[in-house]
């Protein structure tokens, strides 16, 4: 399992949705950090303690397309996401993911 400290390894101030809009975007996190995990056998444990706040756009863009691409079960197995500052962060992220997956239904 890969331990990932979000503040140290990515940023304390998560950015916008797309790379073209600014630094530390959800798209950048998905492509550079999460996608390689899905291509390997690894599991990632993301500790987001200390992050100022995640915008809905960041959470949606970082996680939802992968859940759609690899399936919700694989997604849940591969990603652990928590923060000591925000106990409901995982729930929040999953709510965006499920709303995104309902798109095609």
Partner 1 sequence: MGSNVNIFKNNMKYTIKYRQKLLWEKYLRRKKRIKYNKRKKNISKRDPFNKGKELLKDYIEIPSQLSFKNNWDSTVKTLSDIQKAIKYRFTKIKRHIHIDHSKMEIISPASVLVLASTIERSQKQARIQFKGVNEFLPKNDVVRYLLNEIDYWKYFDVPKLKTSITQDRFSFFKILDSYEVDNTKIGKMIEFFEKKVGFNGNAKSLLFTALCEASANTVEHGYNSFQFNKDTDRWWLTANIDKKDCTISFVFYDQGMGIFKSLENHRSIPVRKLFLKAQRLIKDKPNAKILQHMLRENYSRHKIKNRGYGMQTFKKFIDGAEDGLLFIASENASYEYPKDILREYTKKLNGTLIVWQIKVSYDITSNMYLKNGEKNDSI
List of residues contacting partner 1 (CB under 8 A): 11-17, 21-25, 52-57, 60, 64, 85-86, 96, 99-100, 102-103
Our CB check for partner 1 shows the closer of 82 and 99 to be 99
Residue 59 Cβ vs partner 1, minimum distance, rounded to whole Å: 9
Pick the closer one to partner 1 by CB: 23 or 82. 23
When the beta carbons of 39 and 103 are compared against partner 1, the nearer one is 103
Q: Least distance (Å) from partner 1 to the CB of residue 103?
A: 5
The CB-of-102 to partner 1 minimum distance in angstroms stands at: 7
Rounded to 10 degrees, what is the CA torsion of 71, 87, 19, 68? 10
Cβ pair 9, 51 in contact under 8 A = no
Two tokens, residue 94:
């999953």
Q: How far is the CB of 17 from partner 1 (least distance, A)?
A: 7
DSSP string over 43-91:
-EEEE-TT-----HHHHHHHHHHHHHHH-HHHHHHHEEEE-SS-TTHHH
């Amino acid at each position: 399992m890969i331990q990932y400290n979000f503040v140290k390894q990515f940023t304390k101030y998560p950015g916008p949705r797309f790379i073209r809009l600014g630094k530390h975007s959800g798209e950048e996190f998905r492509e550079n950090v999460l996608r390689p995990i899905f291509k390997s056998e690894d599991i990632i444990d993301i500790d987001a303690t200390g992050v100022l706040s995640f915008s809905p756009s960041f959470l949606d863009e970082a996680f939802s397309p992968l859940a759609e691409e690899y399936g919700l079960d694989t997604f849940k197995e591969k990603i652990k996401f928590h923060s000591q500052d925000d106990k409901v962060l995982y729930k929040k992220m999953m709510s965006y993911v499920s709303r995104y997956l309902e798109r095609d239904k």
